[in-house]
A and B are shown apart, each in its own frame.
Chain A
Amino acid sequence: MANPADLAIEANGLVKSFGEVRAVDGVDLVVPRGSVYGVLGPNGAGKTTTIRMLATLTRPDAGNARVLGHDLATEAGAVRAKVSLTGQLASVDEDLTGRENLILLGRLLGLKRAAAKGRAAELLEAFGLTDASGRLVKQYSGGMRRRLDIAASIVVTPELMFLDEPTTGLDPRSRNQVWEIVRALVAEGTTILLCTQYLEEADQLADGIAVIDNGKVIAEGTPGQLKASVGSGLLHVRLLQPDQRPQAEQILARALGAVTLEPDPAALTVACSEADRGAAALAELANAGVGIAAFTLGQPSLDEVFLALTGHPAQDAPNGDAEPIDEEQPA
């Protein structure tokens, strides 16, 4: 395994129970510095509790962890000096303005008055919140609030950032903005532990993923490895002329196996785990004079991965112990 100094998080057997419920049931995590590590699971899987333990907010019942080289149990203060929290879990003060929130955090993190004000102005500008800086946060839209939340987490640049469901409840445009901010953070060297229930989000951002269900890590690897472990991808082909579909079906079935005819009369789908064989099959179609309008060779989605790993779909957690979601309407 990697040199411990290169690890942002090294957790062994973390356990946390609330009454009868074992929210986290022996979680191991190894997160290299400089990466985005996704913790993927449905509501109630134990993601937030895991983050709360790693961020020193909740004491584990069992297990241990080193965060940025510091022992969680004995050096909590050193951990707090280097990490920050964003998302559902930590938030901003809705009874203050955006600017006041950032100045307050700057002061608490040791900036002098003028430096705290300057830093607040710089972050408000960078996050597109200058116009709203004098308004109370409770009047912000969900996307603005989430941006302020992330800005609040980098008043002093953290070495490790916990992002708990940063895009839950956001519209697609705000979600893309948050993703861009996350990419900028990573480009500047911050390690990110990203909890999400959105498979697409983990796929978009994470270098490594741990899939967690009922308090246990049930699979881990790169997004590609996880998909590969589930099996084949799919080749979708759309023809120029629908009347050539029977011919195309014959060729593809011979080259790759069972073909599914789609509702679209010009489209066919066939299982295809190797790109080479897919390309060869496409070449056969072209040689036979079948015109191709479009094709895609896709890996299975992480939704399919989750279903294959857990036996139930990602959105359908067995225990309905849902984490609270701030539902906010965009202004």
Chain B
Amino acid sequence: MTPNMTSPDATASTANEAAVRRAIASGLRPPPARPVPAALAFAWRGMLKVKHVPEQLLDVTITPVMFVLMFTYLFGGAISGSTADYLDYLLPGILVMSVLFTTVYSGVALNTDMTKGVVDRFRSLPISRLAPLLGSLLGDSVRYVLSGTVIILLGVILGFRPDAGVPGAVAALGLVVVFAFGLSWVFTTIGLVLRSPNAVMNAGFMGIFPLTFLSNVFVEPTTLPGPLEAFVRVNPISHLATASRGLMAGDIQAGQIAVVLAVAAGLTVVFAPITSRLYGKG
């Protein structure tokens, strides 16, 4: 914008004292937003960021897409005898992996936010201290859904046909997103403890990478050495992958689903208050 003195709206780019005074005088003072509407407003903020910076979705989609293609065509034949059979096994697992990887970015985003003044403004508002965090994670959940949908669509393009059809795929995606919501509280806590977004990213992937690989996402645990197999069997990510496979195949495994939901609830109950307290301290 170059100043142009001849333009009729040259004064429009400056504050107008009379209008400022009118605006101040006409200000309302309603009671501040309650926790749920406040959280929804923050979720809206998260979605606006996706709208303005859609590139950030690429980070979290390209890696899983590469994993699907590499594992299916490089290892699929060797692991399952044919790439088509392996895709049936792998795709629900990759769905889990891609969405859980996205949760690390919730911690990174919060850490980035904390370095900016706008968080001080949020913290000085008369709203629940949980609302900004809950809202961001709700907004992130939309990203989890997008990222998961990309994987499922890619699978369908490659020939993946879940027996339970669209409802099964939607149910599996829903379960994965619920688990991811619980897990992201761990990363928001890490995001408030560590100093830089990079440190959060490294710590996050150092945790989530082995946890994902030491699960049944890629291979059946039966071929593994005993101690490793034992770990894979108790790993909640294995339960999540098994439950997702079940939902997609139309073979609903209530026990597995219950474990997944219990772990998600447990993570939320433990880490949401910790995150909230750290956020309040600043």
A residues near B, CB below 8 A?
Answer: 52, 55-59, 77, 80-81, 83-85, 88-97, 100, 104-105, 107-111, 115, 119, 122-123, 125-128, 130-132, 136, 144, 147, 152, 154-157, 177, 180-181, 183-185, 187-188, 190, 331
Contacts and interface: CB of A to CB of B under 8 A. Distances in A.
Nearest to A136: B52
B45 A188 contact: no
B28 A81 contact: no
Interface in B42-82: 42, 44-45, 48-49, 52-53
Given A96-B49, A108-B33, 6 more contacts: A91-B120, A95-B53, A154-B27, A156-B28, A157-B27, A184-B20
A96 B52 contact: yes
Contact of B117 (A90, A97, A107): A90
Interface stretch (B124-132, B136-144, B155-163): B124-132
Interface string B191-221: 0000000000000000000000000000000
A94 B116 contact: yes
B38 interface: yes
A151 B31 CA distance: 19
Interface string B20-43: 111111111111110001100110
Contacts of B23: 122-123, 126, 154
B120 A131 contact: no
B12 A157 contact: no
Interface of B is mostly: helix
A300 B229 CA distance: 81
A-B pairs, 7 with minimum CB distance: A91-B117, A157-B27, A126-B19, A110-B30, A90-B121, A81-B126, A107-B41
Contact of A57 (B28, B31, B37, B123): B123
Interface in B4-27: 9, 11-17, 19-27
B122 to A, nearest CB: 8
A107 B37 CA distance: 8
B13 A131 contact: yes
B229 to A, nearest CB: 46
Contacts of B41: 104, 107-108
Contacts of B20: 126-127, 180-181, 184-185
B43 to A, nearest CB: 11
Nearest to A81: B126
Please indicate which of the listed interface residues B17, B21, B27 has the most CB atoms of chain A within 10 Å of its own CB: B27
A110 B117 contact: no
B227 interface: no
Contacts of B52: 95-97, 136
A108 B32 contact: yes
A88 B117 CA distance: 7
B33 A110 contact: yes
B17 A181 contact: yes
A108 B125 CA distance: 8
Contacts of B30: 109-111, 156
Which of A92, A184, A188 counts the most B-chain CB atoms under 10 A from its CB? A184
Contacts of B45: 93, 96, 100, 104
A135 to B, nearest CB: 10
B32 A81 contact: yes
Contacts of A110: 30-33
